[in-house]
Amino acid sequence: MADVHLPKGMRDILPQQMILRQRVISTIQQVFLRYGFAPLETPAMERIETLTGKYGDEGDKLIFRVLKRGEGGQQGEVDQALRYDLTVPLARVIAMNPQLPMPFKRSQVQPVWRADRPQKGRFREFYQCDVDTVGAPVGLADAECIAVVHDCLLALGFTDFTIRLNHRRWLAALALAVNAAEREGELIVAIDKLDKIGRDGVSRELLGRGFTQGQIDRVWELLDGAPLAGSEQALAELDQVEALALAMGVDRQRLLRDRTLARGLDYYTGPVFETVLTDGGLGSVSGGGRYDGLIGMFCGREIPAVGVSLGLERLIVLMEERGMLGGSSSATRVWVTVFSDETLPASLAAVSAFRQAGVPAEISLAGGKLGKQLKAADSRGVPFAVVIGPDEAAAGTVKLKDLRSGEEQVLSLSLAIDQLGAAS
């Protein structure tokens, strides 16, 4: 056998996993639609200049670059890249389509790629589930981002989670207060790692970046609640967004104002938010914020925008661990067996009738002993099987078998269709 391997940080998603995964995506998309976010797709690749310079130095290092074709590629020249997120491509779409009505609300569920270090719940190719609103000022649109995450997690079955809120202008005031206004990006990148490396780790990183111990001590004083001059507008906007989110039904116990929340990407300009599961152990499961300056990089005029992304991979890992992905791992609802060559026409008529009625159905393609056919259905997670022997074929009935309980019923084909259709 040839020595074959996947690229590091990539994986195959086999059918049984994919069925459960599609259910999670469908649940999220249904919530997105309830809020009026219209679906959009963008290409896997963007021009390199579209992506670079939008994520900060840390983010730019993680972009998968694509070599030019021909002689340029042989010399290491790059002209395209795999998309790093779904937000910058959206900004490019808005700039290229000025006729879109504003405010413009879009949802997008597609893979992105990052040359990151793979670990539990973190892959180099992974799906993001985004919603964004373009053309609306701070307020309702930001609150909707918080509310849609809140409702998605509840719809998936999560109850113990916290949505953390902060404001990038508060962090800008923090940088100014410690005489590091020109190094705001470096400060934010370090603070953004607090949940991963702790205070000591952040302090060491800041020292390594050239911040003095006095500056670092002042940073912790302000993050711990000391008054911060120049942050009044940011705090007022957070008060507004929080009040609107609560009015939309977000649970007060699930909202937390957190001065340490930084969100490391450079394009954020206003309120930022991040969701952590209280007992998750996998970091954040959603994040986002306001980015009023990003679209202007493409079209030359400032267009306000805000969005949030759900981390599908981390959510699915947690749902698998907690047994939250219940139900059959097969899209097929009924497996029609083939008793013999003589009864094959009846089996074909039955599987066709199930399919025409909208009940997902398969027929045994390999045939063989009845027990082997039933075992094949059960091993694939199909919940029901139909047996049509000579007696059933003669009587115009089918034997419907529940493969989980072992219960059997003999009934007409139309009743079997009604029963499976009602239960699906």
Q: Please check the confidence at residue 177 and state whether its pLDDT lies above 90.
A: yes
Per-residue pLDDT tens over the stretch 216-227: 999 999 999 999
Least-confidence region, from 81-95, 185-199, 318-332, 376-390: 318-332
State the pLDDT at residue 121.
67
Q: Please check the confidence at residue 1 and state whether its pLDDT lies above 60.
A: no
Task: Say whether both 302 and 378 belong to one domain.
Answer: no
Task: Say whether both 343 and 312 belong to one domain.
Answer: no
- 241 is a domain residue: yes
Mean pLDDT value of segment 27-47: 97
Task: Say whether both 365 and 297 belong to one domain.
Answer: no
Q: Please check the confidence at residue 169 and state whether its pLDDT lies above 60.
A: yes
At 421, the pLDDT band (50, 70, 90 cuts) reads confident
Mean pLDDT value of segment 327-354: 92
Mean pLDDT value of segment 360-367: 94
Domain containing residue 250: CATH number: 3.30.930.10
Q: At what angle do helices 194-208 and 184-191 cross, to 10 degrees?
A: 140
Least-confidence region, from 53-57, 120-124, 173-177: 120-124
Task: Say whether both 269 and 371 belong to one domain.
Answer: no
- 49 is a domain residue: yes
Q: What percent of the chain has pLDDT over 90?
A: 80
Task: Say whether both 159 and 82 belong to one domain.
Answer: yes
Q: Please check the confidence at residue 424 and state whether its pLDDT lies above 60.
A: no
- 155 is a domain residue: yes
In terms of residue numbers, what domain contains 417?
Answer: 334-423
Mean pLDDT value of segment 360-382: 93
Mean pLDDT value of segment 295-323: 93
Q: Please check the confidence at residue 257 and state whether its pLDDT lies above 90.
A: yes
At 326, the pLDDT band (50, 70, 90 cuts) reads confident
Per-residue pLDDT tens over the stretch 90-116: 999 999 999 999 999 999 999 999 998
Number of domains in the chain: 2
State the pLDDT at residue 209.
94
Task: Say whether both 275 and 223 belong to one domain.
Answer: yes
Per-residue pLDDT tens over the stretch 184-202: 989 988 998 888 899 999 9
What is the maximum alpha-carbon separation in the chain? 91
Task: Say whether both 225 and 343 belong to one domain.
Answer: no
Task: Say whether both 235 and 288 belong to one domain.
Answer: yes
Least-confidence region, from 147-156, 255-264, 377-386, 411-420: 255-264
Q: Please check the confidence at residue 280 and state whether its pLDDT lies above 80.
A: no
- 84 is a domain residue: yes
Count the neighbouring beta carbons within 10 Å of the beta carbon of residue 220.
Answer: 13
Q: Assess contact for 90 and 132: CB atoms under 8 A.
A: yes
Choose the final residue of a domain: 299, 321, 343.
Answer: 321
State the pLDDT at residue 328.
66
More confident residue, 150 or 300: 150
Choose the final residue of a domain: 321, 349, 383.
Answer: 321
- Mean pLDDT (the chain) is 93
At 337, the pLDDT band (50, 70, 90 cuts) reads very high
At 31, the pLDDT band (50, 70, 90 cuts) reads very high
Per-residue pLDDT tens over the stretch 59-81: 899 999 999 988 887 888 899 99
Task: Say whether both 170 and 220 belong to one domain.
Answer: yes
- 212 is a domain residue: yes
- 21 is a domain residue: yes
CA-closest candidate to residue 251, choices 108, 105, 146? 146
State the pLDDT at residue 329.
73
Domain containing residue 408: CATH number: 3.40.50.800
More confident residue, 196 or 258: 258
Task: Say whether both 250 and 183 belong to one domain.
Answer: yes
Choose the final residue of a domain: 321, 348, 375.
Answer: 321
Q: Please check the confidence at residue 327 and state whether its pLDDT lies above 70.
A: no
Task: Say whether both 401 and 262 belong to one domain.
Answer: no
Q: Please check the confidence at residue 367 and state whether its pLDDT lies above 90.
A: no
Burial 21-38 (b: 16+ CB within 10 A, else e): bebbbeebbebbeebebe
Among 5-19, 123-137, 277-291, the range with the most confident prediction by mean pLDDT is 123-137
Whole-angstrom distance, CA of residue 136 vs CA of residue 140: 8
Q: Please check the confidence at residue 147 and state whether its pLDDT lies above 80.
A: yes
Q: Which residues contact 350 (CB under 8 A, 6 or more apart)?
A: 336, 386, 388, 398, 413
Q: Please check the confidence at residue 275 and state whether its pLDDT lies above 80.
A: yes
- 372 is a domain residue: yes
- 329 is a domain residue: no
Task: Say whether both 158 and 93 belong to one domain.
Answer: yes
Mean pLDDT value of segment 221-241: 95
State the pLDDT at residue 317.
87
Of the CA atoms within 13 Å of residue 252, those in its CB half-sphere come to 3
Mean pLDDT value of segment 144-152: 98
